[in-house]
Structure 1
Amino acid sequence: MTLEQATFALKRFGLGPRPGDAVRIAGDPRGALLAELATPPPDNLGPEASPDSTAIFLAIRADQEARRIRRAADNATQPMQSGSMAQAMGAGSPVAKASGAGAANGAGMASVATAAPMPGKPKDPKPAPSVSSQIYADEITRRIAAAHDAGTGVTERLVQFWANHFAVQSDKDEMVRGLAGSFEREAIRPFVLGRFEDMLLAATRHPAMLLSLDNASSVGPDSPVGKKRGLGLNENHARELMELHTVGVSGGYSQADVTSLAEVLTGWTFVRDRARPSAGDFAFNPGLHEPGDKRVMGRTYREDVVYAVGNEGQGLAVLHDLATNPATARHLAFKLARHFVADDPPKPLVDRLTATFTSTRGDLKAVGETLLKSDEAWAPTRKFATPQQFTIAAMRALDANIDAPMLMRALGVLGQPIWAPISPEGFHDDKATWLAPDAMTSRLDVADQFAQKARVNLPPAELVEAVLGPAASADTRQAVARAESERQALALVVMSPEFLWR
């Protein structure tokens, strides 16, 4: 192997080279990747224990309750607006008559609450961020550290791939926002080199996913609770389980299968009673479960079968069958090959990944090893880096001191905020999504900001060799050499075509 191949390996399969990384693995780039793949990524990100979903759920609920109490207290002490006072006093009161007459004349009574502040009166202090927002920022801080410190970064890339595959939408509400990081730590990291079925189950059961896809509020119409309260099904989670998480849109399921799976998943929720020790944990609630046999993709799942965990076993049986379905193997193999190799991945590579997934019954470590050992994966095809890949690679290359707020702002501008896709499909990773003139302008601005935070102690010309290697073109070398400042030179390194394409 060569230095050029080492740089290529770090860009294609890892998080991007830091100065010294390519030299370190130049003797055997593929072996270095495989060696890192043999070590599971850390579950705990940071010097102290990460809060679990139970602790996060309790903290957010306590914060919500405290804010509700503060709002109630504030409302009780604020003077009523004229309309509110009129309503409280009754339609025939002098206040009501004066308010109505004023409104008819286009004037009305000035509301005490909306009057201009007295001169010199201090403005109200900016409200403190919610606990959910603080947790979200803390989780991103942990993710930044994990990405910065990773060796080749191949396992971290897999974590990010699977977290996007099982995408939760943190913008849905503040509970999902606060739980998004714990979802990645609890449902993705422990299984990223394990069995797909275990990851599928953990992701399906996690409160972040149950809330993001509305299964926590799905009720069987003929269940005890459904009959009593007139509640019904929500099919979101069932649909995405098949369309996105397992067999894929062409996997052979029908709308009837979606409805049946939604019925199977009724009762899959989590404990919301803060007084219970299991608050925030997954729970199967039989009172919400739709009774009866269910038929999903040609197989009947009987209600009267004695499952190990009661009627929850219907769902476990369906998930097992979906996880081991040949369509799932093909769907996941294609997505992995597209993510790492090319927007239109080589069919032999997809076939090989599919065969490994099938023969190992979803062993994700074996699938990853097959990817790294396949010659097609090392072919000189190109992938355009997504905003998250670009910012992480730039941070590593420049040893940039990037904190969570700065990264959040940058990714917000670039259109790929962490754990916040616009749909359950997750973020696309193809060139058509991210390569546009205005997007490149935004990347240049981000590159300049990162260059300002750079701590790398190499001259720009040496940084070109360290992170771009022999593949750096004459044009790139010349542009960096002619830069008006070191900051501009560093920004040009990470904005070079050799850096943006992997």
Structure 2
Amino acid sequence: MTDTASIANDRFGLGARPETRVPGDVRGWLAEQLRAFEPNPTDISDLASTADLITDLAESRGMMQAARRSGSSQSQDEVRQARLEVTRRDRRNAFAAGAARLRIAAQSETPLAERLVHFWSNHFAVSAERLPVRSLAADYEFRAIRGNLTGNFADMLRAAIGHPAMLTFLDQTRSAGPNSALISRINARRNNTQLGLNENLAREVLELHTLGVRSGYTQDDVEELARALTGWTVAGFARGGMRRFVDGEPGETVFIPELHEPGARTVLGKRYPEVGEAQALAILGDLALHPATARHLATKLARHFIADVPPQSAIVRLERAYLDSGGELGAVYDALIDAPEVWSAPRDKFRTPWDWIVATVRTLGPNAIPRNPQALHRLFEMLGQPVWQPGNPSGWGDVASDWASPGALLSRVEIANRLTMSAPRNARGHFDPRSLAQSVLGEALQPATAEAIARAEAPGMGVALLLSSPEFMRR
């Protein structure tokens, strides 16, 4: 018999907590989580503001430029020290934001919604290894993704593409219409040095965020979308004469008409005569409703929630829900919850390092989280999945072959032992690892694993065996 509680907790959610009690109406319970989702939990509001981080960064850049012009070695040393402090503060805030993300997930009463946050954040991936994206990554997920989780996909698409983190990560801040009013004047003064179009954002919008690869778009479509996207940039980093055109709070997306490529655009055979930023918004709206986008998103959702090679029947069901509703994500989630395939597929989805740590902390309790955010960051680095740092716009892989290497498994065993060495003292009081295994795995717990846990010489060792077990590694 299918263990619906285990599927609800692990496949839809983020792992059971020992006190979790799944009601008889499991589908209704999951649907209620989406209605009860809190997009702005307290942990988010306690973080340093993005505007302050970007202001500090912009000021340090301005100081460095002034020091170079002055030529004073003392001045340059002072600026380098100030710049180093800004970088350190930015890193501290990034670590704190990653720790807040884990706390939210580990303590959430709406784990399905939190899983979807992580899914969409990875779908619209940015990578925060360097400034200024590192300053913007947390705000990106907390605002663009969480704020649009249950609405229309077109709204999430526009919010994600237009967020300063995405614009910076994919070099949209360096893109401008070659024939725009401002660039035409600049290029005329610079003779052969041409400033102009950058196609990075446009290409990823088509290939990753909407239609998907091999979906029929052409290089001409990429270039036309890139022209339509010109004019969007981020306040706080403008230099020289550009400053007078950029009016906004530091780290805020602004549209500069003088940088927008004039004229109508044609994308996927449709002509867009709109002027200014309305042009890109119109194109993004149509891309969101394209049948190829529906198929692309349905496939990724089915892969994430059901199997590495998802059944076509489930893909078609999600695709139809998307198209019939006009891209309403709530309708797609409802179709996912009702899909028979999600309730019958084997427990073969291998947990990513993020999934595994979240499930571990939900099992052990919040005291299992390292108190030092930097130590927590190092733990995720050890597992190969530092928060908001996939390294490329494709995001983290979502199939077992991406994560189930022997070395990765050994790292998990080592961390499981480290976290549970003093589990009875640091987690939820003195507990029996045998009952803990039964409460968090349910019918997914296999006899061999149950026997190994029962024979453990100490409670901490038994818990470590639970966290290292094949059942706990998969969902």
TM-score (norm 1): 0.83
Q: Could you say which residue in structure 1 is the equivalent of 2:259?
A: 288
* Structure 1 counterpart of 2:125, one-letter code: A
Q: CA RMSD in A?
A: 2.5
Q: Could you say which residue in structure 2 is the equivalent of 1:186?
A: 143
Q: 1:70 to 1:488 in 2, by over 3 A?
A: farther
Q: Could you say which residue in structure 1 is the equivalent of 2:386?
A: 417
The DSSP-based 3-state class of the residue aligned with 1:416 is coil
In structure 2, what is the Cα distance between the partners aligned to 1:13 and 1:496? 20
| Residue range with higher mean Cα deviation, 437-446 or 205-214 | 437-446
Q: Could you say which residue in structure 1 is the equivalent of 2:191?
A: none
Q: Could you say which residue in structure 2 is the equivalent of 1:112?
A: none
Alignment gaps of 5+ in structure 2? 78-83, 188-193
Q: Could you say which residue in structure 2 is the equivalent of 1:6?
A: 5
Q: Could you say which residue in structure 2 is the equivalent of 1:166?
A: 124
- Measured after TM superposition, the shift of residue 279 of structure 1 is 2.8
Q: Could you say which residue in structure 1 is the equivalent of 2:362?
A: 396
- Measured after TM superposition, the shift of residue 301 of structure 1 is 1.4
1:436-477: CA deviations, max 9, x gaps? 111111111121222146413321111111111232112111
The DSSP-based 3-state class of the residue aligned with 2:224 is helix
- Measured after TM superposition, the shift of residue 355 of structure 1 is 0.7
- Measured after TM superposition, the shift of residue 225 of structure 1 is 2.8
Alignment of 1:25-424 (within 5 A): 25-46=22-43, 48=45, 50-62=47-59, 75-76=73-74, 130-171=88-129, 173-227=130-184, 228-229=186-187, 230-272=194-236, 278-302=249-273, 305=274, 310-381=275-346, 382-399=348-365, 400-403=368-371, 404-424=373-393
In structure 1, what is the Cα distance between the partners aligned to 2:56 and 2:125? 23
The DSSP-based 3-state class of the residue aligned with 1:25 is coil
- Measured after TM superposition, the shift of residue 49 of structure 1 is 5.1
- Measured after TM superposition, the shift of residue 272 of structure 1 is 2.0
Indicate if the aligned counterparts of 1:187 and 1:203 stay in contact, CA closer than 8 A. yes
- Measured after TM superposition, the shift of residue 290 of structure 1 is 1.4
In structure 2, what is the Cα distance between the partners aligned to 1:184 and 1:378? 29
Identity %: 40
- Measured after TM superposition, the shift of residue 5 of structure 1 is 2.2
* Structure 2 counterpart of 1:207, one-letter code: P
- Measured after TM superposition, the shift of residue 365 of structure 1 is 1.4
Indicate if the aligned counterparts of 2:44 and 2:100 stay in contact, CA closer than 8 A. no
- Measured after TM superposition, the shift of residue 313 of structure 1 is 1.1
Q: 1:255 to 1:129 in 2, by over 3 A?
A: closer
The DSSP-based 3-state class of the residue aligned with 1:46 is helix
Q: Could you say which residue in structure 2 is the equivalent of 1:485?
A: 458
In structure 2, what is the Cα distance between the partners aligned to 1:145 and 1:63? 32
Alignment gaps of 5+ in structure 1? 80-125
In structure 1, what is the Cα distance between the partners aligned to 2:460 and 2:415? 12
* Structure 1 counterpart of 2:449, one-letter code: T
Query: Are residues 1:439 and 2:396 paired?
Result: no
Indicate if the aligned counterparts of 1:133 and 1:174 stay in contact, CA closer than 8 A. no
Indicate if the aligned counterparts of 1:235 and 1:259 stay in contact, CA closer than 8 A. yes
1:338-385: CA deviations, max 9, x gaps? 011101111111111111111111111111111011111111322011
Which of the residues 406, 414, 437 maps onto 1:464?
437
* Structure 2 counterpart of 1:456, one-letter code: R
- Measured after TM superposition, the shift of residue 140 of structure 1 is 1.2
Q: 1:60 to 1:489 in 2, by over 3 A?
A: farther
Q: 1:14 to 1:69 in 2, by over 3 A?
A: farther
Q: Could you say which residue in structure 1 is the equivalent of 2:15?
A: 16
* Structure 2 counterpart of 1:247, one-letter code: L
- Measured after TM superposition, the shift of residue 397 of structure 1 is 0.6
The DSSP-based 3-state class of the residue aligned with 1:279 is coil
- Measured after TM superposition, the shift of residue 28 of structure 1 is 2.7
1:293-330: CA deviations, max 9, x gaps? 2111111112xx4xxxx411110111011011111011
Indicate if the aligned counterparts of 2:210 and 2:296 stay in contact, CA closer than 8 A. yes
Indicate if the aligned counterparts of 1:215 and 1:269 stay in contact, CA closer than 8 A. yes
Indicate if the aligned counterparts of 1:10 and 1:152 stay in contact, CA closer than 8 A. no
1:179-224: CA deviations, max 9, x gaps? 1000001100011111110110011111100000101110111222
* Structure 2 counterpart of 1:9, one-letter code: A
| Residue range with higher mean Cα deviation, 68-77 or 274-283 | 68-77
- Measured after TM superposition, the shift of residue 332 of structure 1 is 0.3
The DSSP-based 3-state class of the residue aligned with 2:179 is coil
